[in-house]
Structure 1
Amino acid sequence: MKKALSILLASALALNAYSSTRQQDVPQWLKKTTDVISYQLKKASNTYKPGKNPRSVNPDGTVRLAPYKDWTTGFFPGSLWYGYELTGEAELAADAKRFTLALDSVRYLTNTHDLGFMLYCSYGNAYRITGDKNYLPALSDGAKHLFARYNPKVGVIRSWDFAWWHYPVIIDNMMNLEYLYWAAKEFKQPAYTQAADGHAKTTMKNHFRKDHSSYHVVDYDATTGKVLRKATHQGLTDESAWARGQAWGLYGYAMCYANSKEQKFLDQAEHIAAFIMNHPKMPKDKVPVWDFDVHNALDTEERAPRDASAAAVIASALLNLSTEVKDGKKYFDYAEDILESLSSDAYLAKPGENGYFILKHSVGAFLYNSEIDTPLDYADYYYLEALKRYAEIKKLDLKQLTKS
């Protein structure tokens, strides 16, 4: 009996020592984030109603809510799922389920390319984490509708169905390809993979300049596939490098390589990474202004707010890229610097403030006076995703922090 007790005591001491060691391994900048994440997500879940998800904060301080048809509507449920993974708190999982199931009607939408953002970030994470097959029908329908927007003659998925465009494709669309790659395997639809690969190749051919920066929009002739116009709808000028657009491209090609193992996608991801990481206008804290070329137009600081959403996407993309190459440390280190900056008082909200969003200082569409220097739901989402990837690579158990 004494021997058994001794073994149990020794095991308990060893477990405590391990947990303590893991906590000590967690960087100081990361330790405080778990409390902020937990508090803000719980308060947001209790404040806002499923189906009307927090998107940003209006100039008057009220929170802008996203209805289920809004392109950003999947990010808040996705943030709750990531919050649950990071903290292990069952309350966040229950909240994530509530906010996810409220988006069931998204599965019937056919007039948007953003179904990856809307469904894969919400239902996709729900299924990945829980394995609950009740999430699959909505995911199956959404993937079917996203694939239907692929035109093999043009070789890309159509983005917008509005305004004066003929067949517009935006760089953001690279992000929705992950949904198709996953759905191709899950639902045994190889045509989805072909569409994702085709879109990535056509975009690589037409969206990028010689320095590997990207246009925001390329407009095609839907019959011939001819490029009609190249523009930067949300950037400073057609020839400028809109920061979040560069982030979308980096993330998209790193993800495409991870799914397809096509070398050309990896090469493209590394080219884009080099453009971003070596850009002379990148601030020291590695959180870019909303457009890399804004200072070239002699703009004042008021016209050059930072975009934490672009930084969060870049960090998550670089962490993914770091695991796919032999010299991945340079990408990991850069991403770590970004996360440290975003986790500082300059960008990380204090509990109870910021409309219960996690990050401050993002930019939606500057030239349209929309969501300037405000929190954004997708900034939070990709920040949390980046933290999850960082913890996995470093083998850190952040759940221990919330339990201590």
Structure 2
Amino acid sequence: MKNILKSLALLSVILVLQSYNNNDSKPIKSIKKIVKASAEQYTFMNNSIYSKLNTKRMMPRTIKKNGETGLTGIYDWTSGFYPGSLWYLHLLTNDAKWEKLATEYTERLDSVQYWTENHDIGFMMECSYGNALKKAPSKAYDDVIVQTAKSLATRFHPKAGIIQSWNASKKWGCPVIVDNMMNLELLFHATKISGDSTYYTIAVSHANATMKNHFRPDYSSYHVLNYNPETGEVLGKYTHQGYADDSSWARGQAWGLYGFTLCYRETKDPKYLEQALHIADYIKNHPNLPKDNIPYWDYNAPLNNDTPRDASAAAITASALYELATFLDKKESKLYKNFANSIINSLSSPAYFAEPTTNNGFLLKHSVGSLPHNSEIDVPLNYADYYFLEALYRQKTLK
């Protein structure tokens, strides 16, 4: 009898664990349904703002405090995300109307290829022209990518081995932000197109410096480092958009995860894969990560009922995790895919995904731009939508 009771108890534990694992590893509820809802939302958005965007070469970025859609110009760092989202809608639906719109908004950014004022041209042009090249080859678009890489390379300091992010100011002479890891994809792409290894070499140099200097022993990241561009000496470590200089800004962690994952894809250097895994584990196991896996705006921010979540950080993380999973063995791959699925399931729920014809047509609610600057707090953001759609595309296509 005692043995039977022990067996029943053991069976009960097994069933509980299986139930937990099944809940933890639920697939995305319905990609087709999410994609359909996303297409309907962006149809609503485009119909609402097309005349404004058409006359002023503007892009939708957020919702302003007065409830109007906040538009931004082509030289804003977020200008590539709207055309990029249109490309992903086309790739997900194969509807020709999205290709037409994506092409139109992408080509509005043509002059950005010559812009050298900051590092963000990687975001701007890889998300637009880079995604256009996923649809079909184009010599003209290839040329844009290579020229943009030339412009970005002007910000490289060879003695320090880093790409300067922002221009010098009274606060810092040569700032480098963790976000800059995202712009390395453009450089790798340019080398593939042109055969010129210069861009690849710059990308690897910058990644190595970031891995060495930006991350703490627990794999949390500083946001901004101030370098001596002649020696590579780190003069200071700060935050600009996080809670404190020694805190872990949620979107910064996501940028780092995504950036080192793409560096491994392009180089196959195992140190980048190891770095990405450490960052992923930091995020997944952080004690302040809420149960729905949508982080607060900073992992070290004081928590109360009003502490904002950041859906943009969650979407970037999920997209990176889907790619990261493709580089791992079956057991590890499942672990990170499950984590990504849980994030996307949360973002697809009514808590974060907007009801039809609400949210000014943006998909996701509850993102944070820069809380310390009282800018774009608890609002939709075009890059949250972009990485959400990219995550859906990757979940569907990456094996």
Normalised TM-score (structure 1): 0.88
What are the superposed Cα offsets for residues 92-111 of structure 1, whole Å, 9 maximum, x if unpaired?
11000111111111112111
- After superposition, where does 1:37-52 map in structure 2 within 5 Å? 37-46=38-47, 47-48=49-50, 49-50=53-54, 51-52=57-58
Give the corresponding residue for 2:169: 163
- Offset at 1:162? 4.5
Task: Report the 3-state secondary structure (helix = DSSP H, G, I; strand = E; otherwise coil) of the residue aligned with 2:176.
Answer: strand
Cα distance in structure 2, aligned partners of 1:279 and 1:231:
21
Say if 1:181 and 1:192, in contact at 8 Å, map to a contact too. yes
Q: Give 5+ residue unaligned stretches, structure 2.
A: 1-25
> Which of 126-135 and 83-92 deviates more?
126-135
- After superposition, where does 1:99-118 map in structure 2 within 5 Å? 99-118=105-124
- Offset at 1:293? 0.6
Q: 1:26 to 1:246 in 2, by over 3 A?
A: closer
- Offset at 1:188? 1.2
What are the superposed Cα offsets for residues 132-159 of structure 1, whole Å, 9 maximum, x if unpaired?
3222232221110111211111111000
- Offset at 1:64? 1.1
Give the corresponding residue for 1:388: 393
Which of the residues 263, 281, 286 maps onto 2:288?
281
Number of corresponding residues: 366
Give the corresponding residue for 2:249: 242
What are the superposed Cα offsets for residues 51-86 of structure 1, whole Å, 9 maximum, x if unpaired?
210001112111111101100000000000001001
Which of the residues 349, 353, 358 maps onto 1:353?
358
Does residue 28 (structure 1) correspond to residue 29 (structure 2)? The answer is yes
Does residue 141 (structure 1) correspond to residue 181 (structure 2)? The answer is no
- After superposition, where does 1:215-364 map in structure 2 within 5 Å? 215-295=222-302, 299-302=303-306, 304-326=307-329, 327-364=332-369
- Offset at 1:27? 4.7
Amino acid aligned to 1:63: T
Cα distance in structure 2, aligned partners of 1:338 and 1:300:
22
Normalised TM-score (structure 2): 0.89
Amino acid aligned to 2:367: S
Give the corresponding residue for 1:397: none
Cα distance in structure 1, aligned partners of 2:32 and 2:94:
15
Which of the residues 54, 59, 75 maps onto 1:53?
59
- Offset at 1:325? 1.2
Amino acid aligned to 1:55: R
Q: 1:162 to 1:352 in 2, by over 3 A?
A: farther
- Offset at 1:42? 2.1
Say if 1:106 and 1:142, in contact at 8 Å, map to a contact too. yes
Say if 1:29 and 1:340, in contact at 8 Å, map to a contact too. no
Amino acid aligned to 2:75: K
Amino acid aligned to 1:152: P
Amino acid aligned to 1:255: L
- Offset at 1:301? 2.6
Which of the residues 71, 81, 94 maps onto 1:75?
81
Amino acid aligned to 2:136: T
Task: Report the 3-state secondary structure (helix = DSSP H, G, I; strand = E; otherwise coil) of the residue aligned with 2:299.
Answer: coil
Does residue 204 (structure 1) correspond to residue 211 (structure 2)? The answer is yes
Identical columns (%): 49
> Which of 309-318 and 129-138 deviates more?
129-138
Q: Give 5+ residue unaligned stretches, structure 1.
A: 1-24, 395-404
Say if 2:142 and 2:193, in contact at 8 Å, map to a contact too. no
Cα distance in structure 2, aligned partners of 1:89 and 1:185:
29
Cα distance in structure 2, aligned partners of 1:66 and 1:359:
18
Task: Report the 3-state secondary structure (helix = DSSP H, G, I; strand = E; otherwise coil) of the residue aligned with 1:324.
Answer: coil
